[in-house]
Structure 1
Amino acid sequence: MDDLDAFHAILSDPRATAYWSTPPHRDRTQSRDWLRSMVDIPAGEGEDFVIEHDGRVIGKAGFFRFPEIGFILHPDAWRRGFAFEALQAVLARGFAVNGLTHVEADVDPRNEASRGLLQRLGFEETGRKSRTWKIGEEWTDSVYLRLDPPHTAGS
């Protein structure tokens, strides 16, 4: 909860939340409630991790609920490889420690950067649907992606 100010800076930024599941947060209370729900994920249902760089919180990556992955970073941290590095670690842990049989992602089709990142990580598109999320007053669509665990030699 000590990272509330950093997360509010991310979640209240319209650039960071352009394709997020909620409009930009209006106040710290909304961000505090979001952060509390992240911190209080029941064991075995999911896990989220804070992403830091040079002692500064720049985002989060993880599973709010297994097996769906999610991530958000402050725009100052975009296109610097932080999300790729964090997601590699989160995915490895998800398969090795949490025993996930696959990982899913639901991405706004307009979010080309996130779709590209997930595809570089090995995710494959499994389908699309229209009008899946109502964010504020706008309906958005979904691209669904899936990643199966990496195969090891001899399997």
Structure 2
Amino acid sequence: MVVEIVTDRLRLRRAQPADLDDLFAVLSHPSAMRFWSTPPHADRDQTRAWLHGMVTAPPDASDDFVIELQGRVVGKAGCYRLPDVGYILHPDVWGRGYATEALSAFIPHVFAAHAVDRLTADVDPRNGASLRLLGKMGFVETGRAANTWLVGEEWCDSVYLALERPV
């Protein structure tokens, strides 16, 4: 079954191998990856392996999309592993409301498609833009922890958030 979510400006669709170059442009960009759980991708082989995981993830455990803007993949949004929400956009498209638009469409979809009680997120506390976005989406902080991710040689902290299933 082909799942696609279309908004006013974006198309969220399942990843495919042909997305490699566009996703490498995102995942190799130092600014885009500043608060991600890994350092920027060093080469296309690393992105190819990441993309393969996205393409082959089991549908009962994953609900993940690439974000297309005017025919170009500019990021991803979804749950690589349910119920954990993750998203990333190329810095060239930051500040235009695309992440808000993508998540506003994805969140109702995931609750309709899966029997999850809540969605969760793990955000670096220095990533104020992401914390504000998730707050706007209704996520609330559930906890914090120090030194949760070793990214390269830097230990990063976590803010944990959750969004309960609407009643």
User: TM-score with structure 1 length normalisation?
Assistant: 0.95
For residues 93 and 4 of structure 1, what CA distance do their matches in structure 2 show? 25
Unpaired segments of 5 or more residues in structure 2? 1-16
Unpaired segments of 5 or more residues in structure 1? none
Q: Cα distance, 1:77 vs. partner?
A: 1.2
Letter of the structure 2 residue corresponding to residue 90 of structure 1: F
Letter of the structure 1 residue corresponding to residue 166 of structure 2: P
Partner of residue 29 from structure 1, selected from 42, 45, 50: 45
C-alpha RMSD over aligned residues: 0.7
Confirm or deny: 8 A CA contact 2:149 2:155 kept in the other structure: yes
Q: Which residue does the alignment assign to 1:70?
A: 86
Confirm or deny: 8 A CA contact 2:63 2:110 kept in the other structure: no
Q: Which residue does the alignment assign to 1:14?
A: 30
Partner of residue 61 from structure 2, selected from 16, 24, 45: 45
Question: What is the DSSP-based 3-state SS (H/G/I as helix, E as strand, rest coil) of the residue aligned with 2:149?
Answer: strand
Answer with 6-15 or 39-48: which moved more.
Answer: 39-48
Letter of the structure 2 residue corresponding to residue 37 of structure 1: G
For residues 54 and 93 of structure 2, what CA distance do their matches in structure 1 show? 21
Identity of counterpart residues, as a percentage? 55
The answer as to 2:147 corresponding to 1:131 is: yes
User: Could you report, residue by residue, the CA deviation over 1:25-51 in whole angstroms, capped at 9, with x for unpaired residues?
Assistant: 000000100111111111200111010
For residues 137 and 24 of structure 1, what CA distance do their matches in structure 2 show? 13
Q: Which residue does the alignment assign to 1:150?
A: 166
For residues 53 and 143 of structure 1, what CA distance do their matches in structure 2 show? 29
Runs of 4+ in structure 1 deviating by more than 6 angstroms, as ranges, are: none
Q: Cα distance, 1:79 vs. partner?
A: 1.2
The count of corresponding residues between Structure 1 and Structure 2 is 151
Q: Cα distance, 1:116 vs. partner?
A: 0.4
Q: Which residue does the alignment assign to 1:141?
A: 157
For residues 66 and 82 of structure 1, what CA distance do their matches in structure 2 show? 22
Question: What is the DSSP-based 3-state SS (H/G/I as helix, E as strand, rest coil) of the residue aligned with 1:118?
Answer: helix
